[in-house]
């Protein structure tokens, strides 16, 4: 029984080595790069968010009549 169980684990291992995520290179970078990427996402959000540009300042000045 124990032997059978060990063999199943070994089969699973070799299956995963052949077909599994080891077929993929580069995910580690994606995952370990997490912190930088999160910081980047915030930066991206800032890009699309409200900014007080000269155009907007002029609008405020003109609107204050």
Positions that interact with other proteins (CB under 8 A): 8-9, 11-13, 15-31, 33, 36-38, 40-41, 43-44
User: Cβ 29 to other proteins, closest distance in Å?
Assistant: 6
Dihedral pair phi/psi, residue 25, rounded to 5°: -115, 135
User: Cβ 46 to other proteins, closest distance in Å?
Assistant: 12
> Using an 8 Å Cβ cutoff, are 17 and 24 in contact?
no
Q: How far apart are CA 48 and CA 37, in angstroms?
A: 17
User: Cβ 3 to other proteins, closest distance in Å?
Assistant: 15
């Amino acid at each position: 029984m124990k032997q059978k169980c060990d063999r199943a684990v070994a089969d699973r291992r070799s299956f995963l080595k052949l077909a599994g995520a080891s077929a993929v290179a580069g995910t580690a970078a994606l995952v370990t790069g997490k912190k930088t990427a999160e910081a980047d996402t915030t930066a991206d959000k800032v890009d699309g968010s409200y900014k007080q540009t000269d155009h907007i300042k002029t609008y405020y000045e003109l609107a204050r009549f």
